[in-house]
């Protein structure tokens, strides 16, 4: 398994994981030391990592790069 993305916020990782699944790429979110502020907001002091199978790494990295670029472009 390869880590292709890390984020401090769970919602960011969930969005990218959903995009990966839509593209047919299996993956999972791994988190250490997760804290819940309320049911709608969680963060991890160590971050949330998205991992994918080794053979899907190249395609997953391309999707993650596109996601990052769109997120930055659309941020005011």
User: What's the structural domain count of the chain?
Assistant: 1
Residue 33 has pLDDT above 90, yes or no: no
Residue 27 pLDDT > 90, yes or no?
Answer: yes
By CB atoms closer than 10 A (0-12, 13-18, 19+), residue 13 is: buried
Digit-coded pLDDT (tens) for 4-23? 999 988 889 999 999 999 99
pLDDT at 19: 97
Beta-strand ranges (E) seen in 1-76 are: 2-9, 28-31, 34-38, 41-52
Lowest mean pLDDT among 33-37, 49-53, 65-69: 33-37
Instruction: Note the pLDDT of residue 22.
Output: 98
Residue with the bigger pLDDT between 62 and 7: it is: 62
Other CB atoms within 10 Å distance of the CB of residue 37: 8
- The domain in which residue 19 lies consists of 2-73
The CATH number that applies at residue 12 is: 3.30.70.1530
In a 13 Å sphere around the CA of 38, the CA atoms on its Cβ side amount to 1
| Distance of alpha carbon 76 from alpha carbon 22, whole angstroms | 27
**Residue matched to tokens 């002091």:** 45
């Amino acid at each position: 398994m390869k880590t292709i993305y890390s984020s401090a916020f769970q919602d960011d990782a969930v969005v990218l994981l959903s995009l990966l699944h839509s593209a047919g790429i299996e993956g999972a979110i791994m988190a250490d030391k997760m804290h819940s502020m309320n049911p709608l907001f969680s963060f991890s002091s160590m971050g949330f990592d998205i991992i994918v199978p080794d053979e899907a790494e190249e395609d997953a990295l391309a999707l993650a790069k596109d996601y990052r670029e769109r997120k930055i472009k659309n941020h005011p």
